[in-house]
């Protein structure tokens, strides 16, 4: 009996550069250079495994609805999307950063209702609600650091790596919302139907992560 066919959705960009070596250690190698090709779906050295290279924000959707059996996505995107539609069995411990609030350096404590700029609207809503703070959300997809200095927002919620970009724009990190790294997610139906193949891939990836950190 041939092994079940598996499609794995990977996040393109910087995360992909850290993901592929782990997959290689797990015995999954794309059949061509994924960084120069314009294709989105790639054959691998395994007849039954294909890799899909897409935007990180789309990975949870493809996995939840079964167009991909497995995927790799940042914890920030999983939290924003909601994780009810899939399993999250493995932390790859790559592309690590923090999801934080940030405010202008030396800002006075906020008044009753603060304006928060972010692309992570669901996360921000939940976080500030848990703090008992009323906020007005402003959805921005980029250049968040400019929002406070231009009077658009009192605070932002964003990914912080070194914090240098914040400092350069007169901001300082405040509250930690979540530690972020890339996780493997699995479609719930696929986990049942293609269990043996998926468990095999997860086992090999887990070993690759352990080797990297041992």
Tens digit of pLDDT for each residue in 2-47? 578 999 999 999 999 999 999 999 999 999 999 999 999 999 999 9
Asked if 67 contacts 7 with a C-beta cutoff of 8 angstroms, the reply is yes
**Closest C-alpha to 71, from 7, 162, 138, 158:** 7
pLDDT tens readout for residues 148-195: 999 999 999 999 998 899 999 999 999 999 999 999 999 999 999 999
**Closest C-alpha to 27, from 49, 7, 42:** 49
Average pLDDT, the chain: 95
Within 8 A by CB and 6+ apart from 57, the residues are 77, 81
Segment 69-83 mean pLDDT = 96
pTM (two decimals):
0.93
The domain made up of 97-179 has a fold known as D-Maltodextrin-Binding Protein; domain 2 (3.40.190)
Asked if 41 contacts 84 with a C-beta cutoff of 8 angstroms, the reply is no
Segment 63-79 mean pLDDT = 97
pLDDT of residue 111: 72
3-state secondary structure of 111: coil
**Domain 6-95+181-213 CATH class label:** alpha beta
Q: How confident is the model at residue 1 (pLDDT cuts 50, 70, 90)?
A: very low
Range list of H helices, 5-138: 14-25, 59-64, 75-81, 121-130
Domains 6-95+181-213 and 97-179 share a fold: yes
pLDDT of residue 214: 84
pLDDT tens readout for residues 113-145: 899 999 999 999 999 999 999 999 999 998 899
pLDDT of residue 2: 58
Q: What residue ranges do the domains of the chain occupy?
A: 6-95+181-213, 97-179
């Amino acid at each position: 009996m041939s092994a079940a066919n598996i499609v794995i959705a990977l996040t393109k960009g910087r995360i992909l550069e850290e993901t592929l070596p782990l997959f290689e250690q797990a015995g999954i190698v794309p059949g061509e250079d994924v960084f120069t090709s314009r294709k989105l779906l790639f054959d691998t050295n395994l007849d039954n495994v294909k890799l899909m290279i897409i935007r990180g924000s789309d990975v949870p959707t493809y996995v939840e609805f079964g167009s991909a059996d497995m995927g790799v996505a940042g914890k920030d995107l999983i939290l924003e999307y909601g994780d009810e539609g899939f399993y999250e069995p493995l932390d790859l411990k790559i592309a690590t950063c923090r999801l934080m609030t940030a405010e202008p350096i030396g800002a006075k404590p906020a008044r009753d209702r603060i304006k928060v700029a972010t692309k992570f609207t669901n996360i921000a809503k939940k976080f500030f609600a848990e703090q008992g703070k009323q906020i007005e959300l402003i959805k921005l997809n980029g250049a968040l650091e400019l929002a406070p200095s231009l009077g658009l927002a009192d605070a932002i919620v964003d990914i912080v790596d070194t914090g240098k970009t914040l400092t350069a724009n007169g901001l300082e990190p405040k509250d930690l919302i979540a530690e972020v790294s890339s996780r493997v997610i699995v479609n719930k139906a696929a986990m049942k139907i293609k269990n043996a193949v998926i468990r095999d891939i997860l086992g090999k990836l887990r070993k690759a992560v352990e080797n990297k950190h041992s």
